[in-house]
Structures are given as structure tokens and as C-alpha cells.
């Protein structure tokens, strides 16, 4: 079982909601749209809340062209890799086949640090999103 630090819900009409209104459009945003916003930018006021709509502003990208969403999803992939390495060593430790005890300790600590990092980033991203949604237009 891998721990999914983002734990975003899916489905329409369920997601982050700040409870304010923006020109009559509800701010309750489905999870797919959050991902869409991260990739494609915030939709302009008055348009339907559909990801990838025309008129979206450009999202900042790093030098090699990856956006924040790309970085986040690649870091989750690496996190799953680190967690499964730690699990493999833990099983070897249980059966007594582990060659070096520090192999397991290093893998477990790296998985712990990576999980903390991804959870912190998720918390900050959600906080920032809420902050933005709270802004009066």
C-alpha cells in the first residue's frame, strides 16, 4: 500500500470550495479542474469552469519546459519508488536476508523525507489556492 499524499477527490462538484461567489459563478471546483488549472492556467472570469478553455493565461514553466504539475507528478512517481524500495528491504529484514542493515535505514529515511516533502508541497499549494480564491475580484 503506498501512501498517497495528495488524496485529492475526484468527481464533479466535489473539491475545494471557498464558499465565495465570483460574478455569480460558484467557486466549488472539481479536482480535475484543479489539475487543469495547474497545467493550463486560471480561466478568466465569466467563462465556464472547463479546463483548457481558450483565453487561459500561460502557466510558469521551468527551463526544460515542465510546469509545476509535471514536477509534482514526477515527484509522486519517485516517492512511490522510494516507498517500494523501503518495503523490499523491510521484507528482507523480516526474513533475515538483508545484507546490510544500513541499506534498510537509508531507504526508510529517504522515503520518510520524500513523503514529508510532497505533503508539505501539497499543503502549501492548497493553501495558496484557497488564498487566491478568497480574493475579491
Binding site for another protein (CB under 8 A): 71-72, 74-75, 78-79, 82, 93, 96-103, 105-106, 108-110, 112-114, 116-118, 120, 123-124
- Write down the least CB distance from residue 58 to another protein, Å: 21
- Write down the least CB distance from residue 127 to another protein, Å: 10
Rounded Cα–Cα distance for residues 6 and 54 (Å): 28
Q: Which is nearer to another protein, 45 or 100 (CB)?
A: 100
Scanning 1-137, the segments in alpha helix (DSSP H) are: 31-40, 68-95, 101-134
Q: Which is nearer to another protein, 29 or 111 (CB)?
A: 111
| Cell triple for 73 | 507528478
| Cell triple for 55 | 483565453
Q: How many CA atoms lie within 13 A of 35 on its CB side?
A: 13
DSSP 49: S
Q: Which is nearer to another protein, 52 or 81 (CB)?
A: 81
Q: Which is nearer to another protein, 16 or 98 (CB)?
A: 98
Amino acid at each position: 500500500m503506498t501512501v498517497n499524499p495528495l488524496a485529492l477527490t475526484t468527481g464533479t462538484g466535489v473539491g475545494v470550495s471557498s464558499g465565495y461567489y465570483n460574478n455569480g459563478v460558484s467557486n466549488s471546483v472539481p479536482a480535475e479542474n484543479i489539475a487543469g488549472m495547474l497545467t493550463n492556467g486560471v480561466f478568466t472570469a465569466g467563462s465556464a469552469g472547463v479546463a483548457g478553455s481558450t483565453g487561459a493565461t500561460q502557466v510558469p514553466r521551468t527551463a526544460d519546459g515542465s510546469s509545476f504539475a509535471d514536477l509534482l507528478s514526477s515527484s509522486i512517481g519517485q516517492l512511490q519508488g522510494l516507498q517500494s524500495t523501503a518495503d523490499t528491504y523491510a521484507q528482507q529484514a523480516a526474513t533475515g536476508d538483508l545484507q546490510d542493515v544500513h541499506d534498510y535505514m537509508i531507504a526508510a529515511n529517504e522515503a520518510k523525507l520524500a513523503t514529508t516533502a510532497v505533503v508539505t508541497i501539497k499543503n502549501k499549494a492548497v493553501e495558496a489556492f484557497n488564498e487566491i480564491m478568497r480574493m475579491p475580484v
